[in-house]
Structure 1
Amino acid sequence: MFTSATIVAAPSRDYVQPLRAAAAQPRGIPIKPDVTLTAPLTPVALSPAGSHAAFPGLAFTPGRTLDLAWRQGSDHVGRRDGQIVIATSLDSGLSYHDPDAVLGGGTDYRDPSVSAIDDELWLTYFTGSASNAAQGAYVVRGDRPPVRIDSLPYAAIAAPVVELPDGTVAAVYYGHAAGQARDSVWFARSTNGGASWTSTRIADGVADGRDYQEPWLVVRDGTLHVLHRYGSWDSVGITSSTDGGAHWTLPRKILGHATGRPTTLVYASGTMLTIYRDTDTRAAEMAVNKDGGANWVTSGTLLTPPTGSPLGMTYAAAVEVLPGVAHVVVGAENADGSSTLYRGWLAEAIR
């Protein structure tokens, strides 16, 4: 069973200066308006060649460890043999070690996300099969047993648990009830440390006649923002709450020609950055927001998939490891259907 033992004592911080120096160099690859990829992305060599390493998640405990989780399988969905693997870095992603399959065997484990809350690692995932692609949304806290947070016959989660301003924890997932043709987004909250959860539908795909899928929750200046697919293969939308999740705005489209999980990062400065899949090129694209979620600026390509890639980007994860510097891991399918994870750092412009 998964355990929180990967969060360990603080390592040497000798890695700080190389990262700061890289972020300050003008030779970086600009991501408009003011985020820079400090160097080209490089492969994360933790998986067997020809396998499907994809759907990464990242958690960072400041001054301590960085945990990278991903789904490791034979292929995207054909074999249904996905495992969840976690590796640890003590140098903000410069190197990873001790990859460990924490969940696997007997079912297809998918789309892991991790977060560090009160020095404990939280893991989310869903399971799938040939007969039901989304069998339920699960949360694991430390070494406790998994807790299913939905009550739907079809449900999936692809984003981490988030600590809210009031000290409770929340997660977002999507799915639909029997007989429904559209997916909705649900906001789940736990007031007892993850032991039990209550859910509220916050983006109603049935009422709107539009699928809302793969939501991602962030908190900026006390406001909750959930980015999600706005249509299965069309756009990215957002819904927000200014009262801790009691009430939500109607879903609003913010990015066109966009799909995939909109992985979103809030820098300490307040800048929000989201990574999504372009519907035409299937590349990992980026958009930046600096006004609390209102206006998003498309910001360039983070990773172009290999020629002949069936799916393109297989999602991304990002966490701020130094003020203004985020570690990012991006997956991309190869022409043969395997998938590779790539890593790098995204720095805000020096102010």
Structure 2
Amino acid sequence: MPIEELSGAVQYVMDLIGIFAFALSGAFLAVRKDFDIFGTVILSEAAGLGGGLFRDLVLGITPVAFTDLGYFFTPCVAALIVYFGYRLRHDEKVYEGKPFDISDAAALGLFSVTGTIKALSHGLNSPAAVTLGSASAVGGGVLAYLLALEQPALLRWNRDLYALPAFVGATSVAMLYNSALLNVGTAIGASMFAFGLRLLALRYSWRTPRSQFWRNPFAGMRQQPPPVNPVPDLAPSMQADMATLPSVNDGRSTPPSSATDTVTLRRIDMGPLSRRGDGVQPTTPTPGPDRDPRFLLHWPARRDHDGQDHASPGR
């Protein structure tokens, strides 16, 4: 089947199915974010038509979303189904993301194929067609995430594979086209292959490797700001005055390191405290020599030349 014939009625049907699937994912995202009906429709339109709008603008043609009412009303139907569907809206699986992921994966596979076919039909070479097909497949989801003020899953390493299934589907179409094997059956097979790869990535949590820089757990410490000095800077006149003050160690000799003693700190038993509301007041401290020796702390101290003990909680 020629590429012009394949990019006609067959692509129109596949486009509508992909738009509906992407619109469902956008509507699920809007409901999860607790948007109203207008916000749900807008997010559905953005998710369903965003990738195709970008593709048509790159190809230099009038976007079909503004010339065909089928492209415009399909996201509206998906938004109304999700928004007013009682079971869809209140089912816990919606908030777990399962319908969102499945519909998004189906649209990803369809748009990667239709976008590449349309790019090839307008005379683009294979690398450009694969790039444009992949961009049209992920563009709607990225736009919906941005409108919902969420980071797109396409940019995050800790999310399951998203861009790779679209790239695989677009590459499969380009290879089939160069081998003269592209027809309706192989195009559907390429979209199902991309859809299945996305589902497997969701099922087994396949992800792209993280950057080598962030594999070091202490690498992020290099980006930490220096500690803030709690002591404010003094004026030059105050600094000059501070320089003339005598040191605290002036006239004193440094004690030898061997002149150490032990300072014993005792804990005062406060007695049992009552719970709030039982009417019993807490007991007063009972100082005396009969304290529990388990609460005695022994800290090494140094004895200065004036005979005073200076505790040094070094251990």
TM-score bracket for the superposition, by shorter chain length: under 0.3
Q: Which has the higher strand share?
A: 1
Larger radius of gyration: 2
